Amino acid sequence: MNQKPISVVLIPGYMLDESLWNEVINEMPKEWSISQATLKEGQTIKEIAQNIVEHASQSFVVIGFSLGGYIARSIVEQFPEKVKALILIASSLRSDTEEQKSQKLTAIKLNSGKNFHGLSSISIEKTLHPSNVQNRALVKRIQEMGRTLGYEEFVKQSMLDRSSYDMSKITCPTLIISGADDQLRSKEEAIELLDQLPHAKLEIIKNTGHMIPIEQPKSLASVISTWLSEKNLGSS
């Protein structure tokens, strides 16, 4: 008897929209049922997680990138019976430091609804591998996602409380994926996740900064589909 096609929920990161995943989806097995979540519905990580589950199938694999990883963890904590596996890409356990909070507040004050054009080029460049920093089309694409989401969403996402919940509730198979040259989320942060999650495995993707889904979509899709097939959850 053929296995039912796997359902996968993809959650984007800070000031990124569903198009973050376009290239990754092109590399994923065609028989997978893939849904692309938005962070726009809900005012807290917990609420955003609840809204994503409302639109998801009965059981699924949840994949969260960066801030999306915090939301993916919240989904597993609130709805453990629905999640077959958890994949965290370039994410962390850590809350914002006081310095990060202060930087975000400054950015909110410097912008307004009228003059918000997405994240600054400088902040976007920090998320990229050195070889991609001069790629203006890539920077513009990321900036455009933020501009489309708008200033109100920028304020909301900047102020989200990233405090950790009860990690002991996460017992499903978990894959942690880290970029070898990620300047935003260090390998130490990936190892902190690994230490807290007894069923986790860590994979490092080379030649990428923080923006793994855009910088290395082929490698990312390959790592995900290989691991899921090892867990008998997907065919690679």
Say which CATH number the domain at 224 has: 3.40.50.1820
Q: Which two tokens stand for residue 128?
A: 């990229």
pLDDT per position as a tens digit, 50-80: 999 999 989 999 999 999 999 999 999 999 9
What's the pLDDT score for residue 97? 67
Whole-model pTM over 0.85: yes
Q: What is the pLDDT of residue 1?
A: 36
DSSP class of 185: S
43 and 29 in a common domain = yes
pLDDT computed for residue 235 by the predictor: 54
What are the start-end ranges of the H helices in the chain?
A: 22-27, 45-54, 67-78, 98-110, 121-125, 136-149, 151-159, 187-196, 212-215, 217-230
**Whose structure tokens read 């082929």?**
218
- Do residue 145 and residue 179 come from a single domain? no
Classify residue 1: in a domain, yes or no.
no
**Which residues of the chain carry a pLDDT beneath 50?**
1-2, 236
Distance CA 216, CA 199 (A): 25
Q: Is residue 235 part of a domain?
A: no
Q: Same domain for 86 and 16? A: yes
Q: What is the DSSP letter of 216?
A: S
Instruction: Say which residue the tokens 């919240």 belong to.
Output: 74
Domain count, the chain: 2
Neighbours of 68 (CB within 10 A): 28
**Residue 2, in any domain of the structure:** no
Calpha distance 122→223 (Å, rounded): 30
Q: Taking the alpha carbons of 151, 143, 37, 69 in that order, is the dihedral positive or negative?
A: negative
Q: Are residues 127 and 169 in the same domain?
A: no
The reply to whether 16 and 71 lie within a common domain is: yes
Same domain, 140 and 173: no
Task: State which residues form the domain around 128.
Answer: 98-156
Does the residue 236 lie in any domain?
no
Residue 49 lies in a domain: yes
Based on the domain organization, do 17 and 76 belong to the same domain? Answer: yes
Residues 86 and 195 in one domain: yes
Query: Residue 26: its pLDDT value, please?
Result: 97
Q: Report if residue 129 sits inside a domain.
A: yes
Give the per-residue pLDDT at 2. 46
Q: Is the dihedral of CA 179, 234, 48, 118 positive or negative?
A: positive
